[in-house]
C-alpha cells in the first residue's frame, strides 16, 4: 500500500459509510473504494485534488510532499514569501505566465525597458501601486 492510499484511508477513518460518502462525492461507485482498500485499483491517484478538497487537506500533504495538512497555509519557497507570492501569481494568472514566458530570454536591458513602459502606462492611468 502506497503512502497516498494510506493517507486517504486515514482520512476516511473507521466511520461506517465513509467510503460510500467519498465515492458519492467523487461520482464513483462505492465498490471502487473497496477495490482501493484491497489494492485491486489505484484510480485514487486521479482524484487527489478532489479528495484533498473533500477532506480539507492540502494536495501536497495528501501526496506526501509536505507535512502541512492545512491547504490555506502556503509553503514558502526557499523561506521567501515574496518568491512564493510570485510563483502563486504565475500559477493562477495566465497573463503573468504569458509575460514571464515572453521575457524569460530577455536581457536585463529588455526587462528594464519593459518595466519602464509598464510603469509609464500605470502612471498615465493614475495607478501608483507598483
Whether 37 is covered by a domain: the verdict is yes
My answer on whether 55 and 7 are in the same domain is yes
Mean pLDDT of the chain: 87
pTM given for the model:
0.55
Compute the C-alpha angle 80/92/65, nearest 5°: 55
- List the beta strands (DSSP E) in the chain: none
Cβ neighbours around 78 below 10 Å, total: 6
Chain segment 33-57, per-residue pLDDT in tens:
999 999 999 999 999 999 999 998 8
Number of domains in the chain: 2
Q: Which residue has the higher pLDDT, 15 or 11?
A: 11
* pLDDT reported for residue 72: 66
Q: What is the residue range of 31's domain?
A: 3-62
DSSP 58: -
Whether 89 is covered by a domain: the verdict is yes
What CATH number does the domain containing 48 carry?
A: 1.10.260
Whether 130 is covered by a domain: the verdict is no
* pLDDT reported for residue 54: 93
Return the SS3 of 95: helix
My answer on whether 24 and 58 are in the same domain is yes
All three cell numbers of 42, joined, read 489505484
Asked if residue 114 lies in contact with residue 102, where contact means CB atoms within 8 angstroms, the answer is no
- Give yes or no for residue 7 having a pLDDT over 80: yes
Compute the C-alpha angle 114/115/118, nearest 5°: 85
- Give yes or no for residue 74 having a pLDDT over 80: no
Return the SS3 of 77: strand
My answer on whether 55 and 86 are in the same domain is no
Handedness of CA 63, 68, 72, 74 (dihedral sign): negative
Return the SS3 of 80: strand
My answer on whether 23 and 57 are in the same domain is yes
Task: Give the lowest-confidence range in 50-59, 75-84, 103-112, 114-123.
Answer: 75-84
Amino acid at each position: 500500500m502506497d503512502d497516498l492510499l494510506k493517507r486517504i484511508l486515514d482520512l476516511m477513518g473507521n466511520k461506517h459509510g465513509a467510503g460510500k460518502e467519498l465515492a458519492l462525492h467523487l461520482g464513483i461507485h462505492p465498490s471502487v473504494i473497496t477495490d482501493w482498500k484491497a489494492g485491486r485499483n489505484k484510480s485514487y491517484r486521479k482524484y487527489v485534488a478532489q479528495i484533498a478538497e473533500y477532506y480539507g487537506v492540502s494536495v501536497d500533504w495528501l501526496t506526501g510532499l509536505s507535512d502541512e495538512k492545512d491547504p490555506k497555509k502556503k509553503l514558502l519557497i526557499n523561506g521567501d514569501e515574496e518568491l512564493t507570492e510570485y510563483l502563486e501569481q504565475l500559477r493562477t494568472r495566465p497573463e503573468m505566465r504569458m509575460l514571464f514566458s515572453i521575457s524569460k530570454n530577455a536581457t536585463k536591458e529588455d526587462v528594464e525597458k519593459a518595466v519602464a513602459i509598464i510603469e509609464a502606462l500605470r502612471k498615465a492611468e493614475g495607478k501608483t501601486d507598483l
